[in-house]
């Protein structure tokens, strides 16, 4: 019997998850060397991963909105803590970092308002719900890692 590509290829691979919806692992290079900030960043990653699972499952819109609202409140508390630590440590870019926090919270508020108005979520709404996580990951990678060396040399290390 002549074999064809379809008869020898075996089971079809599972569809790949969209990269934006995949869990975001905590990586050692994300450590800022400040216990308070690092703990809060890990909590944010955990919450982002809960959000990813809810988006992937697409079953519980009210729960997803609640996680987004909790994430917004957690972000505001974290930003206040981070701003205080940066100011106390004499970080020269603390004012611009504070402004970036304000920009992120305003964007988060706009996304929340948009999604809270949705009663019958469509695929684009579920995908839009990932935007706050993307904002926060981008901020951590782009802005927070910039003050890492400053805190390692000049900042307090609360235990």
List, in order, residues 6 or more apart from 5 with CB less than 8 Å away: none
Q: What is the rounded distance in angstroms from the CA atom of residue 49 to the CA atom of residue 58?
A: 14
Closest CA to 39 of 50, 30, 49, 48: 30
Mean pLDDT by 10 residues, the chain (159 residues): 40 39 68 87 89 92 96 96 92 95 98 97 95 90 85 64
What's the number of CA atoms in the CB half-sphere (13 Å) around residue 65?
Answer: 14
CATH numeric code, 33-154 = 1.20.120.50
DSSP 15: P
pLDDT on residue 150: 84
- What pLDDT score was predicted for residue 154? 74
For the chain, domain boundaries: 33-154
Q: Specify the pLDDT at position 69.
A: 97
Instruction: Write the DSSP symbol of residue 14.
Output: P
pLDDT confidence of residue 62: 97
pTM over cut 0.85:
no
pLDDT score recorded for residue 2: 41
């Amino acid at each position: 019997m002549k074999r064809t590509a379809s008869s020898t290829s075996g089971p079809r691979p599972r569809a790949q998850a969209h990269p934006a919806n995949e869990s975001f692992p905590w990586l050692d290079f994300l450590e800022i060397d400040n216990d308070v900030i690092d703990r809060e960043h890990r909590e944010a990653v955990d919450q982002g991963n809960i959000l990813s699972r809810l988006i992937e499952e697409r079953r519980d819109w009210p729960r997803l909105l609640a996680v987004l609202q909790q994430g917004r409140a957690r972000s505001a508390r974290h930003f206040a803590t981070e701003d205080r630590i940066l100011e106390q440590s004499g970080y020269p870019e603390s004012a611009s970092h504070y402004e970036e926090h304000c920009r992120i919270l305003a964007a988060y508020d706009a996304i929340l308002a948009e999604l809270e108005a949705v009663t019958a979520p469509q695929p684009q709404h579920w995908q839009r719900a990932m935007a706050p996580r993307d904002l926060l990951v981008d901020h951590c990678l782009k802005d927070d890692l910039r003050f890492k060396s400053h805190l390692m040399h000049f900042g307090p290390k609360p235990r």
